[in-house]
Chain A
Amino acid sequence: MTFPPALDIHLVQLTPAITLLVTAFATLLFALWQKDSRQTAAIALLGVVTAFGFNLSLFLSSGEPTSSFGLRFLTDTPALAFNFLILVGTALAILVSYDQLRRMDLDHPEYYPLMLLSALGATVMAAAGDLVTLILGLEIMSLAIYVLSAWRTRSRQSEEAGMKYFLLGSFGSAILIYGAALVYGSAGSFVYGDIVATLGAGGALVATLGGALVLAGLAFKAALVPFHQWAPDVYTGAPTTVTTFMSVVIKAAAFAGILRLVATVFPQLQPWLLTAFAVTVAATLVIGNLAALQQRGVKRMLAYSAVAHAGYVGLAVLAAGEQGMQAAVWYLSAYTLMNVGAFAVLSLVVDAGDSGDSLDHFAGLGSRRPWLALAMTFFLLSLGGIPPLAGFAGKVMVFEAAISAGYLWLAVVGILTSVVALVYYFRVIGAMYFRRPEHDLPAFASNATTIAIAITLAGTVALGLLPGWWHDLLGVAAAALP
């Protein structure tokens, strides 16, 4: 392990992360005397948009140094691409929360600072070039989100969600740290580049075990089977606004970590590790989709569907060396848009106590709120992979990547489980259009949520109709992957 002679810190490369950090503290201070959380939200949104701007300029400029702290903090194109997902997901979650917090009586000043800190942790994970940075990012991200999961005080379900998430999450982190220790013991370094250089091909058993434990810890955050059990309960118990954030940002960050490991370190380890990961992905696809089919509540159905979508991303991750990185990031982009969209619509249908998300509450939405129902239809069809929406193009990329990498059997599993997925998504569409209204809708309207729905809808349709440009941009990113 050698440090570069000069101080290896490039502040320009760190601007997105620093912006998030500064905004988090600024909103925290601001919230102390400003009781109206909507102004805090505006500042938070401004910070996220600024960070997005910095990230965009980094992405477009072919800046020479793409790392800081001696290859520990990477700002290469894959990291920046993941930053886009994290920042867009955060901005949309802020928009969805904007009016909801007051309605749902969740209006405490620390909400937005915590969300920003969690996003900061996610960007650090995306940038991590060594295991310690990865753990650091994971902990920053997780601690904030544990608190947010339990945000609905006086609700047993929300408290249970937070507690469950915290206990199981700590367990997952511990496993990850133990795995990192094993890898260090074998390779003598935490930095991916050094690990690759030290370990020969084929890899030592200790290092492979370590890699397996690190993967398990990350799979926990990504909610891959069998590490998914927390997800449905936490997604359902947490306030819908938090679930919106969690289901996209946490997942993107976890996959950023996994993807970089699979692309760099894992080929140096024993091959059974990737086989095990493939089995995990298959189990995720089967169990996520079959469990979602059993659910009566739309929120819980979306929670299990989020598990299933982790499986589709996992398909692409397996092909990380080739088209996999492109496919994974593209799929996550589509997923971020359509999933936030679906949760945003859900947040307008549930009542202030976050209950009333059953199919019966969606009955007749097509005649009551035609535009809302139409948007939801697009999100659900896209999640189900119906062309010409974003979810379809994403599925094509993911399956193509998996087949190219030799995982034809996994692609078949993925496709067959997609049939199940379409059935449960279409059930909601059926309720909206084929049934008469059965419940009164909450008299709640929010311009911010409407904007979020409009953005995600436009994105879902536009990415589906014109998938090429983003794929090409990510192709540049894939080439830059170490």
Chain B
Amino acid sequence: MTAAGMLVIPLLGAVLTGFAGERRRLVAGLAVLSTLGAFVLSLFLPGARAVDLPWLPGLGVGFSLDPNGAASVLVVVTALVMLPTALIASLKVEEHPGRFVALLLIAQAGLNGIFMARDLILFYVFWEATLIPGLLLLGMFGLEKRRAAVVKYLAYAVTGSFLMLVSILALKVLSGASSFHVTDLMLAAPLLDAATQTWLFVGLAAGMAVKLPIWPLHSWLVDLNDQNHPSGAADVLGTLYKVGGFGFFAWALPLLPAGAERVAPVLLVLGAFTALYGALIATAQTSFKRLLAYGSISHMGLVAVGLFGMHIAGLNGAIYLLAAQMLSTGALFLIAGMLYERRGTFDLGSFGGLAKSAPALAALTLFVIFAFIGVPGLGNFPGEFLSLLGTFQTAPWLAAGATLTVIAAGVLGVNLYQKLFQGPQAAPVRDADSLEAYVLVPFVAGILWLGLAPAPQLQRIEAQSQLVVLQQERASVPALDAYGDEVAAVTDPSSSGERR
């Protein structure tokens, strides 16, 4: 029931804030109440019981949620990020704050669904449904050129995910699996011949690569961040919705090992390139938000490097980085919003020397930037380190190339801090007020938590990483399907190796 609660609480909150409309204090109260409720509940997820209900039994579709494994980590971090984001949105959005928060909360429910779904159709349902709140936030609350950004976002996301849908439907029919449940698919799909697997994998990858995002499918994210509401709250959602990496990790890689074997090397190269490209392009940006967009694309490149190296350490690291970057990137987007409030621009040239008048804000920002560029002891570091470490085992040259990103990111972070807070002071601004400090506290806490105590989270992620590796081994001996029981045991702990 805990798993279902992670859907019900945000949705209920969304309905109530939708009704609250323009009554700002009520909206803020409801926002805090529902995000706090979701966060507290999310702490009880590890070990919670899986939900398994028939939904469309004629087609073998079930309402199956499993809050364990990587899902438990990602859902908690999402809930932690949403807590301050919904609050600041409810207070800072000028018109229709109720609508804004409602859309955020709907998206949170959708994200939780994406992470917890254990039925491929249900996964797709959440995957696609979560697109709409993001689109509406951009279209309703965005800046001047938002319409072009909406069309671009829609076209990229929908083309990709519809191709993914065909692949999903064909996957069951062609493999002869009895349902879309993860256990059935994981047993049946890897037995398909390599050519079929490759095509199906390409179909899935079309949807997932867009939302990873990986070069050359990344440009929607830059426009999205550029045109979103200046508070940065909608950009935080954009950061959370980069779920492509999770899709590969939980579904595409373990389902279609032979396909992955053929396509992953290409994606690995693209990922390494994305990591470097993002970091380098970011240094050339004059807009704070565009800089963050490219910086986060660089992170996603590292996630891809970890994933497509197909080594267990890299897989662990990729998902860990995915979770950790939600905190640092999300916090920086909100800080960008705070600075916009003071100066009315995202142009980095018009900032400078703010540390004198706003020392507390400067200190907090410096901390988050350190996390953003992967300083050891802070959130992103374990993920980045493991991603690269894992891929060094399988593709050392590419990993070495991708490691250069770490240097580029360091330069990027230092430059950013200098441009904002050091040098000649442009004009004094007010320091962080208590609301802003409160908003940034959860991020700081989360960054420290993920940076200092990674082991328990990594352990939960590892169960699923093992599945990817296991399926790879299984694919290499297709005639002798000796791993079936193990796969069943990993995907469906309740049935202990017994098929549903």
Q: Which residues of A contact B (CB under 8 A)?
A: 323, 326, 366, 381, 386-388, 392-393, 395-397, 399-400, 403-404, 408, 411-412, 415-416, 418-419, 422-423, 426, 429-430, 433-434, 466-468, 471-472, 475
Neighbouring A residues of B151 by C-beta, 8 Å: 423
Neighbouring B residues of A323 by C-beta, 8 Å: 58-59
**Are A418 and B162 closer than 8 Å at their CB atoms?**
yes
A386-B129, A419-B159 known; A471 vs B56 contact (CB < 8 Å): yes
Cβ 8 A contact of A434, one of B55, B146, B165, B172: B146
Apart from A386-B131, A411-B170, what 12 extra A-B contacts exist at CB < 8 Å?
A386-B128, A393-B56, A396-B169, A403-B169, A403-B170, A411-B166, A429-B136, A430-B147, A430-B150, A466-B55, A471-B58, A475-B58
Neighbouring A residues of B443 by C-beta, 8 Å: none
State A388–B122 Cα separation when bound (angstroms).
9
State A84–B150 Cα separation when bound (angstroms).
39
B8 to chain A minimum Cβ distance, whole angstroms, is: 13
**Are A423 and B155 closer than 8 Å at their CB atoms?**
yes
Cβ 8 A contact of A396, one of B59, B147, B154: B59
Cβ 8 A contact of A399, one of B57, B58, B146, B165: B165
**Are B173 and A403 closer than 8 Å at their CB atoms?**
yes
Whether a CB of chain A sits under 8 angstroms from the CB of B124 is: yes
Whether a CB of chain A sits under 8 angstroms from the CB of B54 is: yes
**Are B129 and A388 closer than 8 Å at their CB atoms?**
yes
Residue of B nearest to A408 (CB): B170
**Are A397 and B59 closer than 8 Å at their CB atoms?**
yes
18 pairs across A/B with beta carbons < 8 Å?
Answer: A386-B129, A387-B126, A396-B61, A396-B165, A400-B172, A400-B173, A403-B166, A403-B169, A411-B169, A415-B162, A416-B159, A418-B162, A426-B154, A433-B139, A434-B150, A468-B58, A471-B59, A472-B57
State A399–B131 Cα separation when bound (angstroms).
22
**Are B162 and A419 closer than 8 Å at their CB atoms?**
yes
State A422–B140 Cα separation when bound (angstroms).
18
B113 to chain A minimum Cβ distance, whole angstroms, is: 10
A403-B173, A468-B56 known; A412 vs B128 contact (CB < 8 Å): no
Q: Using an 8 Å CB-CB cutoff, how does the interface string of B165-184 with A read, 1 for contact, 0 for none?
A: 11001101100000000000
A387-B128, A396-B121, A403-B170 known; A468 vs B54 contact (CB < 8 Å): yes
State A396–B122 Cα separation when bound (angstroms).
11
Residue of A nearest to B135 (CB): A426
**Are B166 and A412 closer than 8 Å at their CB atoms?**
yes
Neighbouring A residues of B159 by C-beta, 8 Å: 416, 419
Q: Using an 8 Å CB-CB cutoff, how does the interface string of B46-80 with A read, 1 for contact, 0 for none?
A: 00000000111111010000000000000000000
Residue of A nearest to B121 (CB): A396
Neighbouring A residues of B56 by C-beta, 8 Å: 393, 396, 467-468, 471
State A236–B158 Cα separation when bound (angstroms).
29
Whether a CB of chain A sits under 8 angstroms from the CB of B125 is: yes
State A323–B60 Cα separation when bound (angstroms).
13
Neighbouring A residues of B128 by C-beta, 8 Å: 386-387, 392
Q: Which residues of B contact A (CB under 8 A)?
A: 54-59, 61, 121, 124-126, 128-129, 131-132, 135-136, 139-140, 146-147, 150-151, 154-155, 158-159, 162-163, 165-166, 169-170, 172-173
Residue of B nearest to A405 (CB): B173
Neighbouring B residues of A419 by C-beta, 8 Å: 155, 158-159, 162
Neighbouring A residues of B121 by C-beta, 8 Å: 396
B-side binding surface: helix, strand, loop or mixed?
helix
State A422–B173 Cα separation when bound (angstroms).
26
State A393–B121 Cα separation when bound (angstroms).
10
A430-B139, A468-B54 known; A415 vs B125 contact (CB < 8 Å): no
Cβ 8 A contact of A400, one of B54, B135, B154, B169: B169
Neighbouring B residues of A397 by C-beta, 8 Å: 59
State A395–B163 Cα separation when bound (angstroms).
13
B116 to chain A minimum Cβ distance, whole angstroms, is: 15
Residue of B nearest to A465 (CB): B55
B396 to chain A minimum Cβ distance, whole angstroms, is: 39
Neighbouring A residues of B170 by C-beta, 8 Å: 403, 408, 411
Residue of A nearest to B58 (CB): A471
The 7 lowest CB-CB distance pairs between A and B, nearest first, are: A387-B125, A434-B139, A471-B58, A415-B162, A403-B173, A468-B56, A467-B56
State A422–B147 Cα separation when bound (angstroms).
15
A119 to chain B minimum Cβ distance, whole angstroms, is: 29
Neighbouring A residues of B124 by C-beta, 8 Å: 387
Neighbouring B residues of A412 by C-beta, 8 Å: 166
State A426–B134 Cα separation when bound (angstroms).
13
State A38–B159 Cα separation when bound (angstroms).
47
Residue of B nearest to A418 (CB): B162
**Are B150 and A416 closer than 8 Å at their CB atoms?**
no
**Are B166 and A399 closer than 8 Å at their CB atoms?**
yes
**Are A404 and B173 closer than 8 Å at their CB atoms?**
yes
Residue of B nearest to A414 (CB): B166
State A411–B200 Cα separation when bound (angstroms).
14
State A85–B85 Cα separation when bound (angstroms).
46
Neighbouring B residues of A471 by C-beta, 8 Å: 56, 58-59
State A380–B136 Cα separation when bound (angstroms).
14
Residue of B nearest to A474 (CB): B58
Neighbouring A residues of B57 by C-beta, 8 Å: 468, 472
State A396–B128 Cα separation when bound (angstroms).
13
B189 to chain A minimum Cβ distance, whole angstroms, is: 15
**Are B162 and A467 closer than 8 Å at their CB atoms?**
no
Cβ 8 A contact of A467, one of B55, B131, B165, B173: B55
**Are A388 and B146 closer than 8 Å at their CB atoms?**
no
Cβ 8 A contact of A416, one of B55, B58, B162: B162
B133 to chain A minimum Cβ distance, whole angstroms, is: 11
Neighbouring B residues of A403 by C-beta, 8 Å: 166, 169-170, 173
Cβ 8 A contact of B158, one of A399, A422, A433: A422
Cβ 8 A contact of A472, one of B58, B150, B165, B173: B58
State A381–B136 Cα separation when bound (angstroms).
12
A460 to chain B minimum Cβ distance, whole angstroms, is: 14
A327 to chain B minimum Cβ distance, whole angstroms, is: 9
State A412–B165 Cα separation when bound (angstroms).
10
**Are B58 and A423 closer than 8 Å at their CB atoms?**
no
State A109–B98 Cα separation when bound (angstroms).
48
State A308–B449 Cα separation when bound (angstroms).
52
State A416–B131 Cα separation when bound (angstroms).
18
> Which of B58, B59, B126, B172 has its CB near the most chain A CB atoms (within 10 A)?
B58
> Which of B121, B135, B158, B169 has its CB near the most chain A CB atoms (within 10 A)?
B169
